[in-house]
Amino acid sequence: MTLNRKLIFFFIFFFIASCSSIPKYPQNACKIFDQKYLWYKSVKKSSQIYGAPAHIILAFVNKESGFNRFAKPPRKKIFKIIPYKRPSSSLGYSQAVKGSWNLYKKETNNPLALRTRFKDSVMFIGWYMQKTSKINKIPLNDPYRQYLNYYLGWGSYSKQAYRSDKKAIIYAKSVEKQSRIYKNQLKKCQISLNRKKYIIF
């Protein structure tokens, strides 16, 4: 193999590794942003625009997709064997459904936003949380009730659908717990992250 071909393969491998969507340590905010610094800039920007705390935005992404850009809900099965339709149109880091995503694009005048792009996904989460705050009067720093709105939708939450949905309660509690962990971790590394202004990868 010639030197030029080796260099080409090396750069292809490096590019793929750099763009890999799932971080190595998804439960540690500092390690996530150390590996994916541009993610930190995206989460920080969403937080600044919409007022949603960075640690809560990150906890939403963790719960919804596990940082998998192509995440989709598993297909239903007929007779527990034959793959059938997916239960919703959820896709990407934020697992936004098509209707909510289209509303986001329209209201923010961002027609090119993609659910499989991290930057767009965390901006969507910030936008959704801000609307939850306005529609159902939920504080932006309340991960438990914010996630109930995110999971159930504004209308279902206002009708207190969560009272009969044990899964929603369990999920919201897990997001609350993870956001608290991320918050404590970011206290230790946020100053350092804010200094890294010129890092590309």
Q: Does residue 13 belong to any structural domain of this protein? A: no
Give the pLDDT mean for 130-140: 98
Give the pLDDT of residue 86.
54
Give the pLDDT of residue 11.
43
Average pLDDT of the residues of the chain: 87
Higher pLDDT, 71 or 112: 112
Question: Residue 53: exposed, middle, or buried by beta-carbon count in 10 A (0-12, 13-18, 19+)?
Answer: buried
Q: Does residue 11 belong to any structural domain of this protein? A: no
Higher pLDDT, 199 or 99: 99
Give the pLDDT mean for 157-172: 95
With a cut of 80, say whether residue 51 has pLDDT above it: yes
The enclosing domain of 129 has a CATH number of 1.10.530.10
Give the pLDDT mean for 122-127: 98
Contact 64, 72 (CB under 8 A): no
Q: Does residue 80 belong to any structural domain of this protein? A: yes
Map residue 188 onto helix, strand or coil. helix
With a cut of 50, say whether residue 59 has pLDDT above it: yes
With a cut of 80, say whether residue 14 has pLDDT above it: no
Q: Does residue 152 belong to any structural domain of this protein? A: yes
DSSP state for residue 78 in the 8-state scheme: E
Q: Does residue 12 belong to any structural domain of this protein? A: no
Provide, rounded to the nearest whole percent, the portion of the chain with pLDDT above 70.
80
With a cut of 90, say whether residue 65 has pLDDT above it: yes
In the structure, what pLDDT confidence band is assigned to residue 78 with cuts at 50, 70 and 90?
Answer: low
With a cut of 60, say whether residue 17 has pLDDT above it: no
Q: Does residue 14 belong to any structural domain of this protein? A: no
pLDDT (tens digit per residue) in 22-33: 999 999 999 999
Give the pLDDT mean for 147-163: 96
Question: Residue 41: exposed, middle, or buried by beta-carbon count in 10 A (0-12, 13-18, 19+)?
Answer: middle
Number of domains comprising the chain? 1
Q: Does residue 106 belong to any structural domain of this protein? A: yes
* Domain range enclosing 81: 27-195
Q: Does residue 16 belong to any structural domain of this protein? A: no
With a cut of 70, say whether residue 7 has pLDDT above it: no
Closest CA to 36 of 20, 50, 54: 20
With a cut of 70, say whether residue 198 has pLDDT above it: no
Q: What angle do CA 135, 136, 140 make, to 5 degrees?
A: 95
In the structure, what pLDDT confidence band is assigned to residue 116 with cuts at 50, 70 and 90?
Answer: very high
Closest CA to 66 of 104, 93, 28, 88: 93
In the structure, what pLDDT confidence band is assigned to residue 90 with cuts at 50, 70 and 90?
Answer: confident
